[in-house]
Structures are given as C-alpha cells and as structure tokens.
Structure 1
Amino acid sequence: MSRASTRQKHPASVRRAEPSVRQLVVAVVLVSILSVTFMIVVGRRSATRTSGRGPVTAAYESLRPVGRTLGDLSAPITIVEYSDFQCPYCKIAADTILASLKKDYIKTGRARFHYQPVAILGPESLRAAEAALCAEDQGRFWPYHDRLFATQAGENRGVFNDVTLKRLAADLGLDQARFDSCFDRGQRRQDVMAINREANTRGVTGTPTFFINGVKVVGAVPYVQFRQIIEGMK
C-alpha cells in the first residue's frame, strides 16, 4: 500500500463542510416535523412494477456490488470516496470520475470502490444518506445512489424531503414497508454519524474526497489525476 499523501486541492471542485453534527441532528428533527404537515399518501406499487431489477440495477451486476462496494473485494487497489448527496461536485464525480473508474479499473479487477455517504451540507444531506443506507439494507444502494444524484437540485431546498426519498424507494421496487420503517425510525442515522466521524478523523473537510490506497485526492479533479496515481501503484 502506498504511503498516504495529500494532493493539491482544487477549491472550485470541492464543497466545504458547514454545520456541526449537533446542529445537523436538530435541523433534521425540525425538517421531519414540518414534512409531516404536507405528507401525501403514496399509492401502493402497482402489480406491474418490477422488483427493482430494472436497467439501473442490471447495469451494476458486472461490477459485483456488495453493499456500498463495487468490484473484486481482493483487488489490489482500494478507492474510498466520502461524498454528500447534496454536493454538486459529488454529482460531477459520480457522473464522470466514477463512470471512468468503473470502465478502466473496477470491471477489470484492478480496483474496488467503496462509497461513504457523509452529511456535511445540512439536514437534507443526512436524510438522503439515511435513505441510501436503508436502500442498502435491501441490496439496492447503488440504484438508489444514482436516483439521488439524478434528483439533486440545490442544497436544502426541500428536494430531499421524506416524501421524495420514499418515492424513490418505491420507484426502485423496494419493500416499501421495510424501507419506511428503517427510514422513519432512523435506524441508519448512527451509521451516517459514524461515517461523519470517520471522515473527520481522516481529515475530510469537503466533498468529494477520495483515498486511493491511502493517497488523498480532494475534489472532482480531472480524471487524468486518478489514472496517474493508480498507474503509479505497481
């Protein structure tokens, strides 16, 4: 494993952390209370809806997903990303960097990729991360990850409200009762908080932040930088 080093930061490609964990939890509670006042009844899934094994899920089968990890678990290179679902640069990273990593290194067995959802941009970040982990419980983290980034539209504007997050689960054919129970009871909240603490311990101050066998890369930097680091790991 290469010794850890910090790559040059690109301010225009990274979203900085803002609220404290305590402020975040309080804000989420308030958002949850407010959201109840305008909750609508989500219709039951129709009998024609699939069990979630649509094109989005099938696209990941060749990547051998296990929870939040893609690729061969014994691959020599491990890439960890700390990412916030509200972060615009994280969306860019998902659409470009991750897409290229899949093709060049994950599918070929040279690298495995692990996603760590952090909540640093406000209450909707926390709720989105919780929802994604509830989807992970049903083996649908990656399709849900994709839907969240496709839905992203600004920070804390009500986009990731409880109704929408549950609808995304329904659209993917998840067991709705199981998802709702996980989400409403906050069963994965402590896991998100633990990831936040881990990120803080590793010196993550903005998203996205990657670690490639310990080498730190901050921001949605040009993909060539990832190639240079990986190709230098012989």
Structure 2
Amino acid sequence: MDINSKKAIITGASSGLGAAFSKSIIEKGGTVFGLARSTDKLEQLQDKLGTAFTPVTMDITNHEAIQEWVTNTFSDKHAPDILINNAGLGRFGDVDRLPLDEWEAMIQTNLSGIFYMTRQCIPKMKANDNVCHVINIASIAGKVANPQLTGYNASKFGVRGFSEALFQEVRYDGIKVTCFYPGSTATDFFGQNDLETHENMMQPQEVADVLINVLETPDNFLINDVTMRPLNPKSPNEQ
C-alpha cells in the first residue's frame, strides 16, 4: 500500500501507540481520524500533527455512536483504507477479587469495541477499489497467559481468534487483516496499573515503525501475525 492520500481510522489515538501510529501515517502523507474518549488530548495531538489529524470523541463501547459516525463520515465513494483497532485497557487481580465492572470493561473495550468498529467499516472497505487493511492491536497476553490477568488474557485471546477468523473471511474482498502482539511497551498502560516503565521496554515509535512496514507491503503480500518483544525485558534496576 502507498499510504500517501489514504484515510485511516485509529482508535485509542490520544496517547501511546495510537498517537505514534497517527504521527507515522501522517508523515507518510495519509490522513487520520483519531478516536478516543478524551477530547482535550485529541485536540492537543491535533495541534502537533496538523489538519491531517481529525479528532473524534468516541467511546468505542457505544455501538450506536460508532454506527452513526461511520455512516455520516464515510460512503462507498469515500471509504476508509486503514482501520487500526488500538483502544484497550487492562485491569489486574485474582479471579475471585477482580470486580465485575472491571471484567466487563475489558471485554467491552478490548473485544466488543473491535467488533463494533470493524462491522461498520468492513462494508465500506469492500466497496473500496483499493486494497484495505485492518490491524488489530492485541498483546503478548493474547498468546501467553499469566495469573492475575484472567480478564485481560481472555479479551486479548479473543482478539486473536477474531482476527484469524476475519482474515479468512475478507481476504478475497481485498482486505488484509493483521494482528499485532506487542510485549511490554512504555505507555500509560503501566501507569494506570501502578507499574513503572523503564528503558528496556519497547517504545511506541518502534512499534509504529513496524506498523508502517506492514502497511507498505505489496497488495498481494500479507503479514497476518506480528509478535514483538524486548530482547531483554528486565528493568535495568533488576540486573
């Protein structure tokens, strides 16, 4: 894909990986509709990235709001070329102590939100004359289970299964599907769980560089799974 002039939708765009993805796509000449719940953060990002970035305040767990926005924004002649389902959250705890609302929030955001957004975009992509690309951001937790991550693992394993099935479903419609499984990355995710980032973690821009490489592959060439990890994941303080 030649990213120049292509239209991308990125969820969870206000910070971390989503902000890095937006920056990299715009630097390649694309335009980005950046979705997130925080209007202030989206507007601050627009100040940095310019008019090629369109902020869209959206809760991706609201399927009616997603349907209305996609219907009003896109058409068969004005279709998205790229969808990056990046929004997600993680809450950790023993299975018998994990609050129900935290379980439900993870399933709704990490899994149902991807379904809601994808089911609205796929018909537009099918009508697109260009080869399109859906990229789902899972986690290494979509491949490797750990104690106290039952809810997070369940949601990310779900993204893995959804992505594999979707890839087989739409490949002959000219739509690529790739699932990313990043390991520990220095984003706000860790701060939200009272964990500290450190210099041995991957950086958001490093993951964004991989994203650009995957998007720019030839139209009939698909990388459907990408696993990324730090070579040495330990904090320098632990060595």
When the two structures are superposed, what TM-score results if normalisation uses the length of structure 2?
0.26
Q: Which one has more relative contact order, counting CA pairs under 8 Å at least 6 apart?
A: 1
